[in-house]
């Protein structure tokens, strides 16, 4: 049995198109089958979709391989400010975290030193405060000079400043106590990279961040343009993006960046498409098909792709005259982009073509 294809495949409706009543002869003759002329039934006619052949600006297309990446402008890497041993990791790869949420705890000798400095600064402040109070009372009672009072006041102010400095150092270094460095999320977002485990020794000069966080509200799709396709790709061109995860969903965008240099290893030029990502459907690392569309300064006859049938190495459309007159018409196709097909020959402007249930009607006409 031959296979018949369409460029667009909606679900079929099981409707009766042709009537072929059995007519019995007189005097007990055997029944014979008589096929009536093709007629589209009322039920199908009420739901049938018909479109007109029109001239439209020709839209050329190039398909590129692409990959979804996080927007680097929305990525924050979390580095340790101190060396030590990881005592607890509270998040996993892919987790959503909020700003200020604890990601992990580092047991650090440096933090123990900072905490010791804090105790010393607090003690010095208490001593300086009492000395200032005593110097003030003696100065007011005439038992000491103004110079002694001002010296005590300066010592108190220095103690206040030192305590504030130590607290700021501790805050910058995680704000932990008892020798603990607390790793907190600087922004809200998803953990897209994690390079730490419990019990791991880390150094503050390590070039790898502990965590990488991105909010993923806006992502990039990077397309690979081979040299032969560079003339067909332009800044600002519209693109349709598809993924294996969502084969029936098309994401629309525009090329907003062309690198204009070839990658030395892959020998391709990269283009960028920035997309909003509601619902976080697009994930970093996904492969994507990137169809670049750009209009050319010419018009061609155009019909919906759902009107086109492919059978016996030939494209056909069903030209609708009326419910009793549907003509199978061979056509030559120039190109199919998005959901539109451009026609080289076989149709005239203004003709009406059937765009739904085409396979069912085509098979009925050929039966």
> pLDDT for 15-60, tens place per residue?
344 443 433 344 444 333 334 567 888 888 889 999 999 998 887 8
Q: By C-alpha distance, which of 286, 211, 215 is closest to 73?
A: 215
Burial of 308 (0-12, 13-18, 19+ CB in 10 A): buried
- Using the Cα atoms of residue 281, residue 284, residue 285 and residue 289 in order, give the sign of their dihedral: positive
> How many of the other CB atoms lie within 10 Å of CB of 251?
21
What 3-state class would DSSP assign to 126? helix
Q: Are residues 288 and 305 in the same domain?
A: no
87 and 205 in a single domain? The answer is yes
Classified as helix, coil or strand, 42 is helix
Q: Are strands 287-304 and 309-311 parallel, antiparallel or unpaired?
A: unpaired
pLDDT at 22: 36
- The pLDDT of residue 24 is 39
Q: How far apart are CA 155 and CA 40, in angstroms?
A: 101
Q: Are residues 137 and 91 in the same domain?
A: yes
% of residues, the chain, pLDDT over 90: 48
Which of 236, 268, 297 represents a domain boundary (last residue)?
A: 297
pLDDT at 142: 76
The residue among 166, 195, 214 that closes a domain is 214
pLDDT confidence tier of residue 253, bands split at 50, 70 and 90 = very high
Percent of the chain with pLDDT over 70: 87
Q: Which of 2-6, 32-36, 121-125, 324-328 has the highest mean pLDDT?
A: 324-328
pLDDT at 252 over 60: yes
Name the one residue in this structure whose structure tokens are 């990279």.
193
Give the whole-angstrom CA distance, residue 256 versus residue 237: 8
Instruction: Give the whole-angstrom CA distance, residue 88 versus residue 311.
Output: 65
The answer to whether residues 88 and 184 belong to one domain is yes
Alpha helix positions (H), 141-208 = 146-172
**122 and 198, same domain (yes or no):** yes
Give which of 293, 285, 289, 292 is closest to 219, Cα–Cα.
Answer: 285
Q: Report the CATH number that the domain containing residue 314 is assigned in CATH.
A: 2.40.420.20
Can you tell me which residue has the tokens 């987790």? 95
- Give pLDDT, residue 28: 42
Task: Read off the pLDDT band of 335 (50, 70, 90).
Answer: confident
Residue 249 corresponds to which tokens in the numbers above?
């969903």
Tell whether the torsion through CA atoms of 353, 357, 359 and 363 is positive or negative: negative
Same domain, 105 and 115: yes
* For residue 14, pLDDT beyond 70: no
Residues 226 and 98 both lie in one domain: no
Give dist(CA 278, CA 41) in Å, integer: 44
Residues 322, 197: Cα–Cα separation, whole Å: 72
Query: pTM higher than 0.85, yes or no?
Result: no
- Regarding whether 42 and 17 lie in a shared domain, the answer is yes
**Has residue 95 got a pLDDT over 70?**
yes
> In the structure, what pLDDT confidence band is assigned to residue 270 with cuts at 50, 70 and 90?
very high
Cβ–Cβ under 8 Å, residues 186 and 175: no
Binning the chain into helix, strand and coil, the percentages to the nearest 5 are 25, 40, 35
What is the count of structural domains for the chain?
3
Strands 102-107 and 189-194, bridge-based pairing: unpaired
pLDDT of the residue at 176: 58
Q: Give the residue-averaged pLDDT of 127-138.
A: 86
Write down the mean pLDDT value for the chain. 84
Domain that holds residue 135: 78-214
pLDDT at 11: 38
81-107 average pLDDT score? 88
Give the separation between CA 212 and CA 284, rounded to whole angstroms: 13
Q: When comparing pLDDT for 127 and 60, which is higher?
A: 127
The CATH number assigned to the domain holding 127 equals: 2.40.50.100
User: Residue 98: is its pLDDT beyond 90?
Assistant: yes
Domain boundary among 214, 239, 265: 214
Residue 326's CB: how many other CB atoms inside 10 A?
21
Q: The tokens 């019995």 sit on which residue?
A: 24
Model confidence at 302, pLDDT cuts 50, 70, 90, reads very high
pLDDT band, residue 5 (cuts 50/70/90):
low
In the block, residue with structure tokens 């890497």: 77
Q: Are residues 120 and 46 in the same domain?
A: no
| Residues 206, 88 within the same domain | yes
* Over residues 60-80, mean pLDDT: 91
Give me the pLDDT at residue 272, please. 97
Least confident of 171-175, 206-210, 304-308, 330-334: 171-175
């Amino acid at each position: 049995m031959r296979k018949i294809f369409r460029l667009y495949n909606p679900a079929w409706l099981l409707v009766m198109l042709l009537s072929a009543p059995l007519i019995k002869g007189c005097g007990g003759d055997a029944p014979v089958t008589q096929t009536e002329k093709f007629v589209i039934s009322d039920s199908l006619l009420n739901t049938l979709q018909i479109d007109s052949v029109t001239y439209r600006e020709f839209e050329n297309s190039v398909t590129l391989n692409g990959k979804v990446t996080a927007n680097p402008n929305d990525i924050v890497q979390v580095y340790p400010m101190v060396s030590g041993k990881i005592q607890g990791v509270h998040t996993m790869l892919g987790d959503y975290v909020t700003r200020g949420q604890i990601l992990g705890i580092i047991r650090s000798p440096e933090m123990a030193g900072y905490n010791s400095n804090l105790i010393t600064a607090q003690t010095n402040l208490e001593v300086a405060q009492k000395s200032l109070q005593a110097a003030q009372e003696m100065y007011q009672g005439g038992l000491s000079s103004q110079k002694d009072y001002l010296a005590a006041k300066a010592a108190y102010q220095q103690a206040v400043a030192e305590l504030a400095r130590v607290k700021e150092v501790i805050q910058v270094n995680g704000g932990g106590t008892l020798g603990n460095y607390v790793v907190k999320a600087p922004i809200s977002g998803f953990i897209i990279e994690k390079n730490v485990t419990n019990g791991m020794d880390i150094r503050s000069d390590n070039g790898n961040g502990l965590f990488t966080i991105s909010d993923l509200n806006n992502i990039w799709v990077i397309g690979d343009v081979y040299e032969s396709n560079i003339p067909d790709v332009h800044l600002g061109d519209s693109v349709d993006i598809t993924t294996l995860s969502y084969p029936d969903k098309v994401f629309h965008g525009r090329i907003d960046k062309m690198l204009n240099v070839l990658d030395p290893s892959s020998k391709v030029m990269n283009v960028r498409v920035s997309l909003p990502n509601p619902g976080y459907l697009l994930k970093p690392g996904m492969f994507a098909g990137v169809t670049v569309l750009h209009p050319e300064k010419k018009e061609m006859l155009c019909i919906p792709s759902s009107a086109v049938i492919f059978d016996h190495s030939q494209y056909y459309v069903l030209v609708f005259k009326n419910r009793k007159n549907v003509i199978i018409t061979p056509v030559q196709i120039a190109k199919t982009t998005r959901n539109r097909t451009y026609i080289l020959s076989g149709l005239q402007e203004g003709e009406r073509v059937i765009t739904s249930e085409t396979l069912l009607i085509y098979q009925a006409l050929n039966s």
